[in-house]
Amino acid sequence: MNHTMKAIVLGASGLLGQALMREWTGDEVIGLTSRDADIRQPDVIRAVIEKAQPEWIVLSAAYTDVDGCEKDPERAFTVNRDGAVNVARAAKQAGAKLLFLSSDYVFDGTSKSPYEVDAARNPQSVYGRSKAEAEIFLLEILPQCCIVRTAWLFGTGGKCFPDTILKLAGSRPVLDVVNDQCGCPTYTIDLAKAIIQLCRKDASGIVHTTNSGDCTWFEFAREIVTRADLSTEVRPTSTQQMARPAPRPAYSVLSATSLRVYGVTMPAWQDALARYIDERRVSISANH
């Protein structure tokens, strides 16, 4: 007889939160948005967790606008670091386990081979710093917590890179996309399934969780346009030519070693992208 778990998903209206709520069946799962429970308010979070008495808390609520964080560091740290600390303290008090979503942006991008979980943190952006500091605090408060670092997240139900590319490709003959940043595109559905497995397996410590394989943003965009049968030309450009407020790591491929320890495997990003495009078509036609 499988034991039914009680879990809380914080950030249930976000890209990943929506996928978690959809994929997580067979357990009692409470999805909370920032309107239900603002992680910046320790008393609110404590009361919610105290009342629900969950076995697991998945913290996917965050301020994820990387360039926005660069312009508003105060908000970035208040939500991403201090908010996470509030949740960790409340989890500790209630005896709940915590799974925290972190990012490839905790690394500086100078590596030439996939990052293992024990690689040194050296974030170059405000967003990356806010996540790196959260990790350090969380491991102090709850040494058994699980930190899932992921990257290049995409999925239906909000803004993401493939959605932007598909919208632009509809109106432009040519798209210039950076070809000197390499990472691992990750589909929210696949990430959600992996997170559910990690909770069921009582995972702890840092786990790198992305779809398998890697590519540059240019290669990702080219694949998006090809799979969607669009005729838009995608051209490679450099980071320097596409100046953005926040610096991005040039190489932030995450190694799957830590995930394999739990017997969890992730499909290739190309396979994930094909399923995303199908899912997006269905959701667009459903909304018309």
Other CB atoms closer than 10 Å to residue 206's CB: what's the count? 21
Single out the catalytic residue among 127, 187, 251, 276. 127
Gyration radius from the chain CA atoms: 19
CA angle 146, 150, 192 (to 5 degrees): 75
CA distance 55 to 176: 46
Nearest residue to 158 via CA among 9, 19, 10, 8: 19
262 is catalytic: no
Six token digits for residue 110? 């100078």
CA distance 21 to 216: 30
Judged by phi (left if over 0) then psi (alpha if -120 to 50, else beta), residue 213 lies in left
CA distance 261 to 190: 17
Give whole-number Cα distances, 144 to 71, 102, 109, 180, 229, in Å. 33, 16, 27, 36, 46
CA distance 192 to 22: 9
Cα-Cα end-to-end distance for the chain: 43
Active site residues: 127
